[in-house]
Structure 1
Amino acid sequence: MTEAIVPSSGVLLGRARVPGFDHPRVITVRDGIVLDITAKGAATSRDICERADAAAYVKAVKGNAIGSLADILANSEAAKSDASRPSLLSPIDLQAIKASGVTFVVSLLERVIEEQARGDKSRADALRQDILTLVGTNLSDLVPGSPAAMKVKESLIARGVWSQYLEVGIGPDAEIFTKSQPMSSVGWGADVGLHPVSSWNNPEPEVAVVVTSAGQIVGATLGNDVNLRDVEGRSALLLGKAKDNNASASLGPFIRLFDGDFTIETIKNAELALRVEGEDGFVLDGHSNMSQISRTPESLVAATIGRHHQYPDGLVLYLGTMFAPVKDRDGVGKGFTHKIDDVVSISTPSLGTLRNRVRLSTECPPWTYGASHLLRDLAKADLL
């Protein structure tokens, strides 16, 4: 079980809630045992990621065993969690939580469909066929911002099908937005939240890279960029409402730090698998390959952080998804949308599996522990 959820090798960095401590503990995994490696000057995920020798430090630092990985994973599922035992949290803390959108051609076309449907999922199937006919080219062959892409843009404008999503999909500028606030993400086993207003929504399985304040990518984790298709489809100006809700940003199970065996090239060739399992017996399987991304992770990071915008505590950046769920769930032509208690699993061998249960954001545990609480608790424990 644990080998499918957590990679059997690599340098892993995470966080856990541990009884007897007011603040989250920084952890790693060795030989199936979870170790608490919290220390002065290295009391947050952010502090360790900022180190020049982050992977070497985590690999060598001494720690205190807090339990087996199998037991802690079992106790991290929201429906079964016992507060008297350790459980996993999101592996990041003070880092900003950013996301990039429309980075794969399939998701690009689905965003155009959302816009044209004005949030009405019943129109999606017919629109999909119309737009595919109108586009008339393989957008995956285009380099965003290139002369060829600009010619396609001119052609689409002339044919009346230009869209703001096509602009960020093949135009010169990437879509970068704030997914959620520092300290607000949830981790493996937690409930993820849908705003109650939504009736057309989906998971977005993604790789998320961990970036230092200097703009260096030092590792990666898995993410679910929970999305409300009907809300964003009504207006792109509702992106904040579509994306940033209680428990709508999931990350984990661990950050895998770059070392000699795990590099940015591993990420660029990662194959992601998605499975949604509903209590109604519905099962949705999907796959996406990072090799088909239209903008490199490095270019997306450069669009996020640089002289134009700084992040003193670093950031985590969702890289986008090519998976667009269109499998009918409740009848022909009705497409996919979540139901309460769906279980979403996102996996790739190099990063493991991120698993969460779907609830309404109003029914998920409220976010009450922020950066100010963490800093006060760390100061009280003499860890700053």
Structure 2
Amino acid sequence: MRIIRFLNGNGTPQLAALTDENQVFELPYKDLLTMVEKAKQKNVTALALVQEFIQLSLPLEAELKDLTLLVPIEAPEVWAAGVTYEKSRDERNYEATGGKLNASTFYDKVYDAERPELFFKSSAARTIGPDKEVYLRSDSNWQIPEPELGMVLNREGEVIGYTIGNDMSCRDIEGENPLYLPQAKIWKNSCSIGPAIRLAETVDDPYQFQIICRIYRGGSKVFEDSASTSQLKRELGELVSYLVRENTVFDGTVLLTGTCIVPPHDFTLLDGDRIEIEIPGIGILNNPVKSQVQQPS
């Protein structure tokens, strides 16, 4: 069972349940967090609450493809984990050494360290949902998407559900100096999540998610690759435990878990590209790419 948000006929956000058969049922709750709180009050799971409601309801006549989807949750904060896959470690080493293959840097230490790399990625105002434009930085010449599994958390660090995240990154800025990481990761429309949230209780094994990334240019597919969360170096619970340690975590916080899909070294996103990130069982996160025009000083 998945949870989505879309614009209803009145032009206001509507929470809905999306079944595995792609039937859409409107839900009588303001948002996912309100629904989860209602389930706690009734001492049932969120899944049980949704199932109880849709048994007495009829699905929408409109198909999913006809809905204007919104970001599934307005996450107050989005955090991300880095160097959680071997591929990520190798690519960070390549960036940090100016393009040396099989180089060794401090990223090896991060990969093997007890403490994971966690960084602040986005706020609600910077985060977009399905079909909205992700922006390119005007001061970077090497930019890529980072397809990732995202965990939706409550304030206690419990996993409410799973979603898809795009952690847009500037490889040249990060590679120039690791202290530039915030600038390589955080800017307007640099984070996308959606299209749905898969309720945690419906996921048997989060280490069996397949992640697929496709990039289209001029109507043609110019990149495709896939990976599995089974390739994660770190456990998901480990990442959460470090995020909540000595930290205030807000209900609805999203933690992205790192990427194992990286386009070739000579590839950079361009204005007009389109990014598709698919995780079967969650959906396809689609975002067009737009350049930002440098404003005169």
TM score, norm. by length of structure 1? 0.69
- The residue type equivalent to 2:66 in the other structure is I
Q: What's the CA shift for 1:316?
A: 0.9
Q: 1:272 aligns with which of 211, 222, 233?
A: 211
1:14 equivalent in structure 2: 4
**2:232 is the counterpart of 1:321:** no
TM score, norm. by length of structure 2? 0.87
Aligned length: 286
Would you tell me which structure has more strand in proportion to its own residues? 2
Seen in structure 2, the aligned counterparts of structure 1 residues 268 and 71 have a Cα distance that, compared at 3 Å, is: closer
Q: 2:49 aligns with which of 52, 57, 62?
A: 57
1:128 match: secondary structure: coil
Provide the C-alpha distance between the structure 1 equivalents of 2:292 and 2:9, rounded to a whole number of angstroms: 26
1:262 equivalent in structure 2: 203
Provide the C-alpha distance between the structure 1 equivalents of 2:128 and 2:58, rounded to a whole number of angstroms: 24
- The residue type equivalent to 2:32 in the other structure is S
1:147 equivalent in structure 2: none
**2:34 is the counterpart of 1:47:** yes
Percent identity, aligned pairs only?
28
2:241 equivalent in structure 1: 302
Say which one has the larger Rg: 1
Q: What's the CA shift for 1:18?
A: 2.9
**2:88 is the counterpart of 1:99:** no
Alignment of 1:221-240 (within 5 A): 221-240=163-182
1:325 match: secondary structure: coil
2:97 match: secondary structure: helix
Which range is displaced more, 216-225 or 59-68?
A: 59-68
- The residue type equivalent to 1:34 in the other structure is V
Alignment of 1:1-384 (within 5 A): 11-21=1-11, 23-30=12-19, 32-39=22-29, 43-50=30-37, 51-52=39-40, 53-61=45-53, 68-73=62-67, 87-117=68-98, 124=99, 127-129=100-102, 131=103, 161-163=104-106, 165-259=107-201, 261-263=202-204, 265=205, 267-279=206-218, 281=220, 283-306=222-245, 308-326=246-264, 335-361=266-292
1:379 equivalent in structure 2: none
Point out where structure 1 has 5 or more consecutive residues left out of the alignment. Answer: 1-10, 74-86, 118-123, 132-160, 328-334, 364-384
- The residue type equivalent to 1:336 in the other structure is F
Seen in structure 2, the aligned counterparts of structure 1 residues 64 and 320 have a Cα distance that, compared at 3 Å, is: same
Point out where structure 2 has 5 or more consecutive residues left out of the alignment. Answer: none
RMSD of the TM alignment (CA)? 2.3
1:68 match: secondary structure: coil
Provide the C-alpha distance between the structure 2 equivalents of 1:64 and 1:236, rounded to a whole number of angstroms: 53
2:214/2:221 contact within 8 Å kept: no
1:344 match: secondary structure: strand
Q: What's the CA shift for 1:342?
A: 1.3
1:205/1:274 contact within 8 Å kept: yes
